[in-house]
Structure 1
Amino acid sequence: MSVLERPVAVRGRGRSGRTLALRGRGLSLRIRPRPLAVTLLLTLLAAGSGALALTRDGLVPPAEVLGALFGAGSEQAAFVVLELRLPRVALGLVVGAALGAAGALFQQLSRNPLGSPDIVGFNSGAATGALLVLLHGDPAYVAAGAAGGGLATAVIVQLLARRGSFRGNRLILAGIAVGSLLASVNAYLLTRAALDHAQSAQLWLIGSLGSAERHQVLPALLGLGVLLLAALPVVRRLDLLEMGDEAAGALGVDAGRTRVLVLLVAVGLSAVAVSAAGPIVFVALCAPQLARRLSRGTGTGLLPAAAMGALLLSASDLAAISLPTAGPLPVGVVTGALGGVYLAWLLGRGRRR
């Protein structure tokens, strides 16, 4: 092995602390200890929240939950854990991670903290496609409808935002405008649907994990994994765009191609979340910002944001099923309330400054 092929560890310091870079055979991997530790901690907390959801209300003791997970429990415990609770917990973790990662990509792409899929209209587009399938097609193709609606919205917003030089604020404004129009389309579709279909669709539009089933988990998990793997090579190029298109181009980064790839991955992540649980609000907005505060990192922060999204949605769903309400509480109600509190806290914090 020559010197050029031998892996080399390079240590340095940045705004987020020490950095360990591993390079060799044309590959480069930078590891920042603090963001990595934050990601692992948030992942453990999200798993802990899921474990609490499995053992809630004392119906199935923790020992029987473990037995059911490993195939050694009673039939009753296995049914409650594996058929009723585990799909909801697993899907909540996957959807939360997808929303957190999508929010991180949108915010870095637009260079605006409001650049999340639920704010700029991409969730509305995915919801429109899914509603058309739910109300007028085969419900088995909801995922395809959500992906198609989100992709069509992304194309329209991108075309509106690309007039002249690219600006993040223009992307936000174009997304809000298109999202408002699509919200009207969604409302119209509901008024024209049968009453029972409209009620179920309205519950889905709020965002709910109550109808999660085992067969939904694996496709959502595979979609999340593939899209995260596709995002990792592009994230570094996206971070270089902070220096400006000309400076990034001097380093070999194609700004236009990078933005299109990031947009496709972010829309795909949004479609995975929307098709599985409906357009859940505020998780994609809050998760990247909270993760960035904890990790003190710069750039996209994709993995910490995904872990924070999983924790936020898992904890919100645990609160939704634990609150003493007259009926099942959709998780979208809880995330909307938490998002409002978070925005109010940001406003108050900014005013004190």
Structure 2
Amino acid sequence: MKNQTIEIIVAGRRQRRRRWILVTGSLAILACILCCAMLLLGNTIYPLGDVIRALSGEKIKGVSFAVSTIRLPRMLAGLFAGFAFGIAGYIFQTMLRNPLANPNVIGITSGSSAAAVFCITVLHASGAVVSVASVVAGLATVVVMYILSRGRTFSIGRLILVGIGIQAMLDAVVSYLLLVSAQQDIPSALRWLSGSLNGSKMDELPPLVISVVILAPILIVLGKHLNLMELGEQSATTLGVATDRTRVVLILCSVCMIALATATTGPIAFVSFLSGPIAKRLAGAGFSNVIPAGLVGVNLVLASDLIGQFAFEVRYPVGIITGILGAPYLIYLLIRMNRKGEL
């Protein structure tokens, strides 16, 4: 009887592993297809061979400029920003055990946005200055939230409420900056706030790329601790997880990634909110879904950008499309949580 029970457990684990591998592989293949589509499609559709030759450094009239200067930076910005948004959203939702606890809702993105809009409208800065200001503001927002929600013990509900309040305050700051800024600065700020891959440049991408390459592996390694923390503070501590230290590392890495992604593309709406639940629904429970969540974020951003470019007569920024996709899910989630008495 005991051996039979062990065999059932092992078989179930193998089945969950196969499902995780299949889903992760499928998401990666879809991301590759969307990356190719980003390079091939535009005002002019170029053959795959010409695109490959242009990427390898060969000068082809028209193709080299369109692919290397416009389409490649746009694709890379969507790829790395989507991965950063997806992972960060999943980390916060899992760590705080609440689907509403994502960087968009609890004010972290608003902190980065307020700093970026200040740099654009007041300092008339761009590039590295905006990136540094976004990261510093995002980290400062997290520190203030953590201090205000700490009390005698850490409280998830208190953190979320504090975050929502800070988000409202920072959104008001953004509105004030737009109201008093010079007329010529408003379009740039609004375009940035809507979340867009338009105008992405290769020289603006290194901070985002480096942060994802360095910090994403750390978050992936800590994924097993994240699953234990989802069981609760006491259970995780009993199982040997240094919860405070792990939480600090997870928050710092996630905030740095999402702040740099926000500085590069603007706050693309609902990507961090949708990626975790979709990844968990597809890949199931039992294994860390950090990688699937990042890949879902990539696919959401790239697919939404393609839809915004080619599905309508007017071209829309990617943040408009993700907002259209995410708003109904937010309403559904609030209704479901209200029925369960979780609100």
Same fold flag (TM > 0.5)? yes
Q: How far does residue 95 in structure 1 lie from its aligned partner after superposition?
A: 0.5
Q: What is the CA-CA distance between 1:70 and the residue it aligns to? A: 2.4
Count residues in correspondence: 332
How far does residue 351 in structure 1 lie from its aligned partner after superposition? 11
Partner of 1:104 in structure 2? 90
Alpha-carbon shift at residue 193 of structure 1 (Å) = 1.1
* Matching residue of 2:305: 317
> Quick one: which amino acid aligns to residue 50 of structure 2?
E
- Between the aligned partners of 1:195 and 1:85, the Cα distance in structure 2 is 30
Aligned equivalent of 1:237: 225
The 8 Å contact of residues 17 and 287 in structure 2, kept in 1 or not, is answered as no
> Distance between the aligned counterparts of 1:125 and 1:238, measured in 2?
25
Q: Which residue in 1 is equivalent to 2:4?
A: none
Relative to structure 1, the CA distance from residue 12 to residue 301 in structure 2 (aligned partners, 3 Å threshold; closer, same or farther) is farther
SS of 2:14 mapped into structure 1 = strand
Counterpart selection for 1:337 from 293, 303, 324: 324
Q: 1:74: how far off?
A: 1.1
Alignment of 1:1-353 (within 5 A): 13=9, 17-18=13-14, 32-57=17-42, 58-72=44-58, 74-137=60-123, 138-140=125-127, 141-298=129-286, 300-326=288-314, 328-343=315-330
Give the stretch that moved more between structures: 291-300 or 259-268: 291-300
CA distance in 2 between partners of 1:109 and 1:347 (Å):
19
User: Residue 330 of structure 1 aligns to which amino acid in structure 2?
Assistant: P
Cα 1:283/1:12, change in 2 over 3 Å = farther
Deviation at 1:269, TM superposition (A): 1.7
When structure 1 is superposed on structure 2, of 162-171 and 41-50 the one drifting more is 162-171
Q: State the distance in 1 between where 2:161 and 2:252 align.
A: 19
Bigger CA drift: 69-78 or 91-100? 69-78
Looking at structure 2, the residues matched to 118 and 42 of structure 1 have their Cα atoms a distance apart, in angstroms, of 24
Query: How far apart are 1:14 and its partner, in Å?
Result: 7.3
Partners of 1:352 and 1:253 lie apart in 2 by: 33
Equivalent-residue separation in structure 2 for 1:197 and 1:314 (angstroms):
27
Counterpart residue number, 1:27: none
TM-score by length of 2: 0.89
- How much has 1:162 moved relative to structure 2? 1.2
Paired letter, 2:32 = A
User: What residue is the counterpart of 1:7 in the other structure?
Assistant: none
Distance 1:256 1:12 in 2: 35
- CA separation of 1:183 and 1:38: change in aligned 2, threshold 3 A: same
Judging changes above 3 Å, is the alpha-carbon distance between structure 1 residues 257 and 302 closer, same or farther for their aligned structure 2 residues?
A: same
Q: How much has 1:17 moved relative to structure 2?
A: 3.4
* Cα distance, 1:163–1:214 mapped onto 2, change above 3 Å: same
- CA pair 184-298 structure 1, distance change in 2 beyond 3 A: farther
- Structure 1 position 108, deviation (Å): 1.0
CA distance in 2 between partners of 1:337 and 1:14 (Å):
42
Q: Deviations over 1:79-108 (max 9, x none)?
A: 111111111011101100000000011101
Give the Å deviation of 1:39. Answer: 1.8
TM-score by length of 1: 0.86
CA distance 1:13–1:98, shift in 2 (3 Å): farther
Secondary structure at the counterpart of residue 17 of structure 1:
helix
Answer yes or no: is the 8 Å Cα contact 1:245–1:255 preserved in 2. Answer: yes
The Cα shift of 1:346 comes to: 5.3
Counterpart amino acid of 2:81? V
Gaps of 5+ in 1: 1-10, 20-30
CA distance in 1, matches of 2:231, 2:307: 42
CA positional deviation for 1:217: 2.8
More strand by share: 1
Q: State the distance in 1 between where 2:71 and 2:214 align.
A: 25
* Offset, 1:216: 2.3
Write the distance in 2 (CA, Å) between the matches of 1:226 and 1:77: 32
Query: Counterparts of 1:260 and 1:148 in 2: how far apart (Å)?
Result: 16
Identical pairs, percent: 34
The 1:256/1:16 distance shift into structure 2, 3 A limit, reads farther
Tell me the CA shift for residue 299 of structure 1: 6.2
C-alpha distance in structure 2 between counterparts of 1:290 and 1:341, whole Å: 14
Task: Give a deviation string over 1:15-53, Cα, whole Å, max 9, x none.
Answer: 97328xxxxxxxxxxx93322332221121012112112
